[in-house]
Chain A
Amino acid sequence: MSKIVRDYGFDRNILTVEDFISLATLRQGVEKPVRLDLGNDENPDGLQPYFCWLEMIRIPFPDFNDGRGFSLAKRLRQLGYEGVLRASGYLIADQYRMARLSGFDEIEIDDLLAARQPEWLWQSQVIKKKLSYQDRLLKTG
């Protein structure tokens, strides 16, 4: 079983592997809104025409030390993707802020990690989003 971490707290994960399709399947064409499993070594170039069909893109973190997902999320957002972005796998609470600022909406973690790093710990990261040098450097309005 797994949990979904969101800004307001934990939710139970209700999606299963059948709810996602691969990039190869997507590229064959779709007829209804779908959810995509995008590998962290896969190239999202040319995906823009499909964005309106994508309800969710899920990006795996095989290890918390593997930061490719952060850049992939950012690239998708810059390409104009506005649907849900989910990180799944091994991310620790201290990385929640990074994930959110890189463009993810939520993180799917397993119950073991959720027990070791409980809800309040993830939520304590939410406020830190505001303390960002990067946002501050940029022109606003």
Chain B
Amino acid sequence: MYKYNDFDHAFVRTRVAEFRDQVDRRLSGSLTEEEFKPLRLKNGLYLQLHAYMLRVAVPYGTLNSRQMRQLAMIAEKWDKGYGHFTTRQNIQYNWPKLKDVPDILDALADVSMHAIQTSGNCIRNVTADHFAGAARDEIEDARITAELLRQWSTDHPEFQYLPRKFKIAVTGSPNDRAVTRAHDIGLRAIKDSEGSAGYEVLIGGGLGRTPMIGKVVRGFLPKEDLLPYIEAILRVYNLSGRRDNKYKARIKILVHETGIEELRAEIEKEFLTRKAEFPGINPELLQAIEQDFAAPIFNKLSVDNHVARVAHDKEFREWVKNNVARHKIPEYAIVTVSLKPVGGTPGDATAEQMRVMADLAETYTHDELRVSHEQNIVLPHVPKAYLPKVYDELKKAGLATPNLGLLSDIIACPGMDYCSLATARSIPIAQDIAKRFDHLQLERDIGALKIKISGCINACGHHHVGHIGILGLDKAGVENYQITLGGNATEDAHIGSRVGPGFSAEELVPALERLLKSYLQLRESPEETFYKCYNRLGMDPFKEALYPHLKPKQIKRDRA
């Protein structure tokens, strides 16, 4: 993985010193609160409901064991002993004190980490496929591009005061695990007809209160044109994006209001000007990045003990089936550590659990960990021979819940328990759903299912792209949960459709129970997932299940 050079080290240290100074100047009055706000946000510091929140960047979700241990140390020393992994592959601390923040940033710098541009109206932490470098279907490791973009976007002088935040995601595989179609810019590594490497470039995707699927702005962009082209997109957006209304300021609105054709013409024009004087990327620097992401030396150990354990241990077998994915090397596997125990907070890990994962990474898996946007931790290169040991250790630490991709592997935003924007609780809803279906013992039978919960219309919980999306709103002081069905976050990204009136917190879980029990009745076979079944049958039978008091006629009329 990427190793900081002298420049990176000097940069993050200078940045910490700068922020220390900015905090002092805020306290002395040299900076107004309004002026200080974007500066603290660019260093990851939010003001939340009860306290400050520090969002630490985990670029493209990649960590080593030393970094993970430092995150554990920070959780214990300056927070309440845990951290929260987010849908943007970052980690958040919910309870730091303002005066401690410069020290926390220094502790991060000690292990080549920072909180730069994890918030504010700038280019945010670049995200990438959490299986990069390990996936079988990969064209190339997306993290090479993501690291290049991290460097290019860090403190970019032209793009620190954009109309709104700007998120870039990269995938190196045709199977999109990075939700590139729901980002301001999505990059998909492809090859043209002659075999040259490049990208398909998407713009204008995003969730939030106006969900939109990204549109292709350039079908094939040669690799060497990446930076000038991205700069052209950003420049056109910075000059033309709306600044009159915060809720219409994202590039998706510019795409929507201008039209992709016209915007493409503007971007291409800007690109030609930029390209004419673009000297190209320093080849040594690019090589150094590529070398840092070279695959580890894989040891092809015998898989016999793994095969034997699968044969005789049912629980292990269940975990392997759900939480272990195919690796590009047949003797290896990709393990996803579930941070979604039944009744827990999705994405939370205690300092102790972080250390367990760090130890496992160091001992068995080439010292690498990943944070996935689904709020789990990935051990990307595990020899199958070690799977039984890894499983046993995870199980002891409460980290072996075999629920990946199943009902209780829920994405949930922090909601009203932490967030000042939230209009409803999100985490307790996720917990209630997981507990109820655990009690019913239906999760395994229901199979693959993505439930995503947001506690307000800003949609941090990605509810628009959940097979079942849940949006918590406030209706005259009472929480009300709307259900959307049929969303999809993959390469076939799709925004789900709202079914009907919302449910109270108490009505919601029984409604989901009716919905999923009817799915079990309606499906053609256990192989037909909820998502497939919904696409075959459409909304009506599911609407009937959710609203049993409605007559079929009424359902048809509502749909019209």
Q: List 11 A-B contacts (CB under 8 A).
A: A68-B239, A71-B238, A74-B158, A92-B31, A95-B161, A98-B161, A99-B157, A131-B11, A131-B155, A133-B11, A133-B155
8 Å CB interface, A46-93 against B: 64-68, 70-72, 74-75, 78-79, 92
Q: Which residues of B contact A66 (CB under 8 A)?
A: 161, 243
Given A71-B238, A78-B273, A116-B30, A139 contacting B283 (CB threshold 8 A): yes
Query: Is A94 an interface position by the 8 A CB rule?
Result: yes
Contact of A65 among B10, B161, B283 (CB under 8 A): B161
Q: Which residues of A contact B243 (CB under 8 A)?
A: 66, 68
List the interface of chain A (C-beta within 8 A of B): 64-68, 70-72, 74-75, 78-79, 92, 94-95, 97-102, 116-117, 121, 128, 131-134, 136-140
Q: How many residues of B contact A (CB 8 A)?
A: 43
In the complex the two chains form, is B151's CB within 8 Å of A64's CB? Answer: no
In the complex the two chains form, is A65's CB within 8 Å of B38's CB? Answer: yes
In the complex the two chains form, is A134's CB within 8 Å of B157's CB? Answer: yes
B 110-132 binary contact with A (CB < 8 Å = 1; else 0): 00000000000100000000000
Contact of A139 among B25, B30, B270, B282 (CB under 8 A): B282
Q: Which residues of B contact A75 (CB under 8 A)?
A: 235, 239, 270, 273
Contact of B30 among A71, A121, A128, A140 (CB under 8 A): A121
8 Å CB interface, B217-275 against A: 227, 234-235, 238-239, 243, 270, 273-274
Query: Once the chains are docked, how many angstroms separate the CA of A139 from the CA of B154?
Result: 18
In the complex the two chains form, is A136's CB within 8 Å of B282's CB? Answer: yes
Contact of A117 among B30, B39, B155, B281 (CB under 8 A): B30
8 new A-B pairs (CB below 8 Å) besides A70-B238, A117-B30, A140-B279? A74-B158, A95-B161, A101-B157, A121-B30, A131-B11, A132-B157, A136-B151, A138-B282
In the complex the two chains form, is A64's CB within 8 Å of B156's CB? Answer: no
In the complex the two chains form, is A138's CB within 8 Å of B280's CB? Answer: yes
In the complex the two chains form, is B160's CB within 8 Å of A136's CB? Answer: no
Classify the secondary structure of A's interface with B.
helix
A118 nearest CB across to chain B (Å): 8
A50 nearest CB across to chain B (Å): 17
In the complex the two chains form, is A70's CB within 8 Å of B161's CB? Answer: yes
Contact of B10 among A68, A94, A131, A139 (CB under 8 A): A131
Given A75-B235, A133-B155, A67 contacting B273 (CB threshold 8 A): no
Q: Which residues of A contact B159 (CB under 8 A)?
A: 67, 70-71
In the complex the two chains form, is B14's CB within 8 Å of A128's CB? Answer: yes
A115 nearest CB across to chain B (Å): 10
Given A71-B238, A133-B11, A133-B154, A64 contacting B282 (CB threshold 8 A): no
Q: Which residues of B contact A95 (CB under 8 A)?
A: 160-161
Given A78-B274, A131-B10, A131-B14, A138 contacting B157 (CB threshold 8 A): no
Given A64-B35, A65-B121, A102-B157, A136 contacting B7 (CB threshold 8 A): yes
B224 nearest CB across to chain A (Å): 11
In the complex the two chains form, is A98's CB within 8 Å of B281's CB? Answer: no
Query: Once the chains are docked, how many angstroms separate the CA of A67 from the CA of B10?
Result: 27
Query: Once the chains are docked, how many angstroms separate the CA of A133 from the CA of B123?
Result: 14
Q: Which residues of A contact B158 (CB under 8 A)?
A: 67, 70-71, 74, 98, 101-102
Query: Is B101 an interface position by the 8 A CB rule?
Result: no
In the complex the two chains form, is A78's CB within 8 Å of B161's CB? Answer: no
Query: Is B162 an interface position by the 8 A CB rule?
Result: yes
Please give me the residue from chain B that is nearest to A79 by CB atom: B273
Q: Which residues of B contact A121 (CB under 8 A)?
A: 25, 30
In the complex the two chains form, is A94's CB within 8 Å of B39's CB? Answer: yes
Given A65-B161, A72-B239, A98-B158, A137 contacting B31 (CB threshold 8 A): no
Query: Is B277 an interface position by the 8 A CB rule?
Result: yes
In the complex the two chains form, is B285's CB within 8 Å of A67's CB? Answer: no
In the complex the two chains form, is B152's CB within 8 Å of A137's CB? Answer: yes
Please give me the residue from chain B that is nearest to A94 by CB atom: B39
Query: Is B22 an interface position by the 8 A CB rule?
Result: yes
B238 nearest CB across to chain A (Å): 4
In the complex the two chains form, is B281's CB within 8 Å of A137's CB? Answer: yes
Q: Which residues of B contact A131 (CB under 8 A)?
A: 7, 10-11, 14, 155
Please give me the residue from chain B that is nearest to A101 by CB atom: B157
Q: Which residues of B contact A67 (CB under 8 A)?
A: 121, 158-162, 238
B250 nearest CB across to chain A (Å): 15
In the complex the two chains form, is B151's CB within 8 Å of A137's CB? Answer: yes
Please give me the residue from chain A that is nearest to B160 by CB atom: A98
In the complex the two chains form, is B31's CB within 8 Å of A71's CB? Answer: no
A46 nearest CB across to chain B (Å): 13
In the complex the two chains form, is B10's CB within 8 Å of A92's CB? Answer: no
Q: Which residues of B contact A132 (CB under 8 A)?
A: 155, 157
In the complex the two chains form, is A134's CB within 8 Å of B279's CB? Answer: no
Contact of B280 among A97, A133, A134, A139 (CB under 8 A): A139
Q: Which residues of A contact B155 (CB under 8 A)?
A: 131-133
A93 nearest CB across to chain B (Å): 9
Query: Once the chains are docked, how many angstroms separate the CA of A32 from the CA of B282?
Result: 43
Q: Which residues of A contact B148 (CB under 8 A)?
A: 137
Query: Once the chains are docked, how many angstroms separate the CA of A12 from the CA of B365?
Result: 63
Q: Which residues of B contact A128 (CB under 8 A)?
A: 14, 18
Query: Once the chains are docked, how many angstroms separate the CA of A104 from the CA of B526?
Result: 64
